[in-house]
Amino acid sequence: FVEYADDKYVNQLPQVAQGVDVGVNYRLNTDSFGDFTVDVNVARLDKLYQSPTEGLALLLEARAAGQINAGTIITGGQDVVGQNGTPEWRGTGSLNWRYGNFAASWFTTYTGKFYSTGLTYAAGGFYKVPDTWVHNVSLSYTFEEGNRYIKDTRILIGARNVFDKDPPLVPDGYQASVYNPYGRYLYFNIRKSF
């Protein structure tokens, strides 16, 4: 009988991926209010099939033959969309504005929900990780005239993770392949062109 399987660091290629990516870009130029650009990108992952390794195939066969408990959870060697940091939906969107020497940007990322196989409920279900939205913003001013120290200098101030959104928790902390642990922070940048 099988006591356990340690299949963490095995190359599980080949993988088959299938999905759709859609991008939309819209620009509006006005004399009175400046120029606006909207970008939206959405990706839907329909399939990410991971072939089972030799050891995993033996476990799946043993479960199917009734040699191990039919309720035993075996991950991998299947379509992995929706689990362990592989959400079905992802997206980004940005709104950019420019008027004279001023520019501003709002950037948003969306990560769809998925479930973590690192923890199961008593009824056998996996821990669900909710979808998240993270927002970044910036404002800049470019000096086009002035003395040689000021001319062609851009000053930018921004904030990442504006609403201080924590990454959703999973049994080992957070899903590092999808999220970073940084809370809201401000940054400042000066760029000089010569």
Using 50, 70 and 90 to split pLDDT, how confident is the model at 12?
Answer: low
**Average pLDDT value over all residues in the chain:** 86
Q: Please say if the pLDDT value at position 174 is more than 90.
A: no
Q: What is the pTM of this model?
A: 0.76
Q: Please say if the pLDDT value at position 95 is more than 90.
A: yes
Strands of 51-131, DSSP E? 89-99, 102-111, 114-120, 126-129
Tell me, what's the pLDDT at 178? 86
Instruction: Give per-residue pLDDT as tens, 32-87.
Output: 999 999 999 999 999 888 777 777 778 878 878 888 876 666 666 677 888 888 89
Nearest partner of 51 among 71, 80, 81, 73, judged by Cα: 80
